Chain A
Amino acid sequence: MKIDMDNVYKTADDLEKHGQTVSFNVDNAIAHIAHWLPTQGPIKDFIHHNTLHSVQHFPFHHGVAVAAKIFGARSYLPLNDYQDLYSKGRITPAALDWAVKRSGLIGKPQDELVGRLFVRDAHSHYPPISIATNGIRTALLTYLEVDLNGRVHPVLFRLLSNFLDQGISRWTMPKSGEGFWDCVLRLVHNSFLPLYPFHDHRLRELFLETPDTVIRICLEKIVGDKTLYEQYILEMLLAHPGWSGMVNMIEQAPNILLVPRSISLKELIAVELACELAFLYKKKGEAFEGISQLPQLANIPRLSEVASSAKVAVRLKVWHEAMEWALHTELLRALKTQAPAPKPDAAIPLRIQSVFCIDDRECSIRRHLESLNPAIETFGAAGFFGIDFLYQGLDDAYPVAQCPVVITPNHLVMESGNPPKPKDSDFSNMHFRAHSLLRGWLFTQTLGLGYAIRLAWNVFSPTASMAKIQKLSEIKPHSKLHLLRESDVPTKDGYLLGFSFKEMADRVGGLLTNIGLTDNFAALVVIVAHGSSSVNNPHFAAYDCGACSGKPGSPNARAFAWMANHESVRKILRERGIDIPTNTRFIAALHNTSRDEATYFDAELHETFAFKELEAFKATMTQALERNAKERCRWFELSPKAHNKAHQHVRARASSIFEPRPEYNHSNNLYCVVGKRELTKNLFLDRRAFLHSYAAETDPTGSILVKILGAIIPVCGGINLEYLFSRIDNSVYGAGTKLPHNVIGLLGVANGVEGDLRTGLPQQMIEVHEPARLLIVIEQSPEVIDQSLANIGDLKEWLDNEWVRLVACRPTDRQQFLFTATGWETIDLPVDASSPLFTRPEQVFDVQNQTIPAHQLTRSLS
Chain B
Amino acid sequence: MNGLILACQLIPLLGFVLVFLSPNNEKVISTISNWITHLTGVSIIALLALWVSHGFQSYEYVWFSLYETADYHFPILFYLDRVGAVYLVCVWIIFSIITKYCRYYLHRETGYKRFFLNIFGFLFGLNLIILSGSIDMLFAGWEIVGISSFMLIAFYRHRVQPVRNALRAYTIYRFCDIGLLLGTWMSHMLFHESPHFSQMASLAENNVLSSLGYGELSLLTFLIIIAASGKSAQFPFCFWLPRAMEGPTPSSAIFYGALSVHLGVFLLLRTDPIWSYHVVTRAIIFFIGLLTVIIASLAEKTQSNIKGQIAYASITQVGLMFIELSLGLDTLVLLHFMGNAFLRCYQLLVSPSIITHLLRVEGAANTDFYIEKNPMRQFLPLSIRNQLPEVLQNTLYVFALQEGGLEFLVRSLLWTPFKRIGGWVNALNVWWLGLMTLTALGGGVLIATNTAIDHKYLAIPVSIAMIIASSSAFSQKHSPFKVWNSILLSYILSGVAVLLINPHIGSDVLMFFSGILPSWLLGIIVLSKLLKNQHFEAAPFAFRAMAETQPKLSLLLFISFLGLVGFPITPAFLSEDILLAHASSEHPWFALPITIAFVVNGIAAARVYMGLCMGRPNETYTV
A interface residues (Cβ-Cβ under 8 A, vs B): 43-44, 72, 123, 126-129, 133-134, 141-142, 145, 147, 149-150, 153, 158-159, 161-162, 165-173, 175, 186-187, 190-196, 258-259, 395-398, 423, 426, 429, 431-432, 434-437, 440-441, 443-452, 454-456, 459-460, 471-472, 535-538, 540, 637-638, 656-661, 731, 736-746, 749-755, 764, 767
Which of B246-254, B440-448, B559-567 lies at the interface with chain A? B246-254
Per the bound structure, the CA–CA distance linking A537 and B356 in Å amounts to 8
Given A445-B336, A751-B159: A459 and B365 within 8 A (CB)?
A: no
User: Is B187 close to A, CB under 8 A?
Assistant: no
Asked whether B360 lies within 8 Å of A190 as measured between CB atoms, the reply is no
Partner of A742, one of B307, B398, B405: B307
* A167 & B365 in contact (Cβ 8 Å cutoff): yes
A444 touches B343 (CB 8 A): yes
A167-B364, A435-B310, A753-B245 are known contacts. Are A731 and B352 too (CB-CB below 8 A)?
no
1/0 per residue B363-406: CB within 8 Å of A?
A: 11111111100000000000000000011101101111110010
From A187, A446, A743, contact of B351 by CB (8 A)? A743
Residue of A nearest to B161 (CB): A755
Residues of B within 8 Å of A142, CB to CB, are 539-542
Closest 8 CB pairs of A and B: A448-B339, A435-B313, A739-B248, A444-B339, A259-B366, A191-B394, A165-B304, A258-B365
> Is B38 part of the binding interface, using a Cβ–Cβ cutoff of 8 Å?
no
Nearest Cβ distance between residue B233 and chain A, in whole angstroms?
13
Q: Is the CB of B342 within 8 A of A460?
A: no
Query: B359 near A397 (CB under 8 angstroms)?
Result: yes
**Does A449 lie within 8 Å of B361, measured CB to CB?**
no
Cα A471 to Cα B539 with chains together (Å): 52
Query: Can you offer 30 A-B residue contacts whose CB atoms are under 8 A?
Result: A129-B618, A129-B619, A142-B539, A150-B160, A153-B161, A165-B366, A167-B366, A168-B309, A169-B301, A169-B304, A171-B301, A187-B394, A195-B398, A396-B360, A397-B365, A434-B343, A440-B313, A441-B317, A448-B340, A536-B350, A638-B107, A658-B102, A731-B616, A739-B109, A740-B156, A742-B307, A752-B161, A752-B246, A753-B307, A754-B165
Q: How far is the CB of A648 from chain B (nearest CB, A)?
A: 15
Interchain CB contact (< 8 A) of B305 among A168, A423, A429, A731 = A168
Residues of A within 8 A of B307 (CB): 742-743, 752-753
Chain A residue at minimal CB-CB distance from B165? A752
When the two chains form the complex, which single residue of A43, A159, A172, A750 contacts B370, counting CB atoms closer than 8 Å? A172
* Binding stretch for chain A, among B75-83, B93-101, B276-284: B93-101
Known contacts A447-B339, A471-B360; is-contact A190 B390 (Cβ 8 Å): yes
Among A195, A739, A767, contact of B105 (Cβ-Cβ < 8 Å): A739
Chain A interface mostly? loop
* CB-defined contacts of B505 to chain A, threshold 8 Å: none
Inter-chain contacts of A165 with B (CB < 8 A) = 304, 366
B618/A126 in contact, CB under 8 A: yes
User: Closest CB of chain A to B461's CB: distance in Å?
Assistant: 31
* Contact call A193/B293, Cβ cutoff below 8 A: no
User: Does residue B477 face the partner (Cβ distance < 8 Å to A)?
Assistant: yes
Of A127, A445, A456, the residue contacting B618 (CB under 8 A) is A127
Most central of A167, A171, A745 by chain B CB within 10 Å: A171
Residues of B within 8 A of A (CB): 93-94, 96-97, 100-102, 104-109, 155-156, 158-162, 164-165, 242-243, 245-250, 252, 293, 297, 300-313, 316-317, 320, 332, 335-336, 338-343, 345-347, 349-371, 390-392, 394-395, 397-402, 405, 408, 477, 539-542, 616-620, 622
Are A397 and B364 CB-contacts (below 8 A) given A444-B340, A540-B356?
Answer: yes
Which among A436, A447, A452, A749 has the highest number of chain B CB atoms within 10 Å? A452
Task: Give chain A residues whose Cβ lies under 8 Å from the Cβ of B339.
Answer: 443-449, 451
With A and B bound together, what is the CA distance between A395 and B339 in angstroms? 32
Question: What chain B residues lie within 8 Å of A751 (beta carbons)?
Answer: 156, 159, 161-162, 246
Tell me whether B399 and A126 are in contact (CB under 8 A).
Answer: no
Q: List 17 other contacts, CB 8 Å, given A128-B618, A191-B398.
A: A129-B619, A142-B542, A167-B358, A170-B367, A191-B391, A193-B398, A432-B354, A432-B357, A538-B355, A540-B356, A736-B159, A738-B352, A740-B156, A743-B306, A745-B304, A746-B355, A751-B156
Docked pose: A278 CA to B108 CA in angstroms: 44
B487 to A: closest C-beta gap in Å: 21
Residues on the A chain within 8 Å of B105, using CB: 658-660, 739
Beyond A191-B391, A452-B93, whether A746 also contacts B365 by CB under 8 A is yes
Q: With A435-B309, A440-B313, A449-B338 known to touch, is A171 a contact of B101 (CB < 8 Å)?
A: no
- Known A187-B397, A536-B353: A441·B320 in contact at CB below 8 Å: yes
With A161-B305, A166-B366 known to touch, is A429 a contact of B297 (CB < 8 Å)? Answer: no
Bound form: Cα–Cα A173–B356 in Å: 23
A444 neighbours in B (Cβ, 8 Å): 317, 336, 339-340, 343
B398 touching A731, Cβ below 8 Å = no
Contact A753 B156, CB 8 Å, known A536-B352, A744-B304: no
Cross-chain contact B303 with A169 (CB below 8 angstroms): yes
Number of A-B residue pairs having CB atoms within 8 Å of each other in the complex: 328
Residues of B within 8 A of A126 (CB): 617-619, 622
Nearest CB of chain A from residue B374's CB, rounded to whole Å: 9
Cβ–Cβ < 8 Å partners of A455 in chain B: 97, 342, 345-346, 349
Q: How far is the CA of A374 from the CA of B300 in the complex (A)?
A: 61
Partner of B354, one of A168, A195, A740: A168
Residue of A nearest to B359 (CB): A44
Could you say which of A129, A196, A426, A660 contacts B408, with CB atoms under 8 Å apart? Answer: A196
Q: Could you tell me the distance between the alpha carbons of A751 and B163 in the complex, rounded to whole angstroms?
A: 12
A146 — nearest CB in chain B belongs to which residue?
B541
- Closest Cβ of chain A: how far from B193's Cβ, in Å? 38
Given contacts A441-B320, A736-B156, A742-B245, contact A141 B541 (CB under 8 A): yes
Residues in chain A near residue B395, CB distance under 8 A: 191-193
Whether A537 contacts B352 by the Cβ 8 Å rule is yes
A764 to B317, CA, bound (A): 35
B616 to chain A, nearest CB (A): 7
Residue of B nearest to A638 (CB): B107
Query: Do B248 and A540 touch across chains, with their CB atoms under 8 A apart?
Result: no
Are A638's CB and B304's CB within 8 A?
no
Contacts of B94 in A (CB 8 A): 452
* Across-interface contacts of B369 in A (CB, < 8 A): 170-172
How far apart are the CA atoms of A460 and B364 in the complex, in Å? 32
Interchain CB contact under 8 A, B243 and A752? yes
Are A175's CB and B359's CB within 8 A? no
Please state if B541 and A147 are interface contacts (CB–CB under 8 Å).
Answer: yes
The answer to whether A437 touches B316 (Cβ under 8 A) is yes
B305:A437 contact, CB within 8 angstroms: no
B40 to chain A, nearest CB (A): 16
Contact A429 B316 (CB under 8 A): no
Complex CA gap A540/B390 in Å reads 40
> Are A190 and B305 interface neighbours, CB within 8 A?
no
Q: What residue in chain A is nearest B390 (Cβ atoms)?
A: A190
Known contacts A172-B369, A429-B361, A434-B313, A743 near B539 by CB under 8 Å: no
Question: Which residues of B sit under 8 angstroms from A738, Cβ to Cβ?
Answer: 352
Residues of B within 8 A of A656 (CB): 104
Find the B residue at minimum CB distance from A423.
Answer: B362
| Listed residue (B250, B398, B541) with the most chain A CB atoms within 10 angstroms of its CB | B398
Contact A445 B313 (CB under 8 A): no
B293: A residues at CB distance < 8 A: 437
Instruction: Say yes or no: B301 contacts A742, CB within 8 Å.
Output: no
A43 to B353, CA, bound (A): 13
State whether A637 touches B313 (Cβ < 8 A). no
B109 CB contacts on chain A under 8 angstroms: 737, 739
Assembled-state Cα–Cα distance A450/B335 (Å): 12
Shortest C-beta distance, B612 to chain A (Å), equals 16
Q: Which of A459, A472, A737 contacts B360 (CB 8 A)?
A: A472
Which residues of B are found within 8 Å of A443, using beta-carbon distances?
A: 339, 343
Measured between beta carbons, the chain A residues less than 8 angstroms from B619 are 126-129
Chain A residues with Cβ below 8 Å from B341 are: 448
**What residue of chain B has the Cβ atom nearest to residue A432's Cβ?**
B357
User: For A187, what are the chain B residues with a Cβ–Cβ distance below 8 Å?
Assistant: 394, 397-398, 401
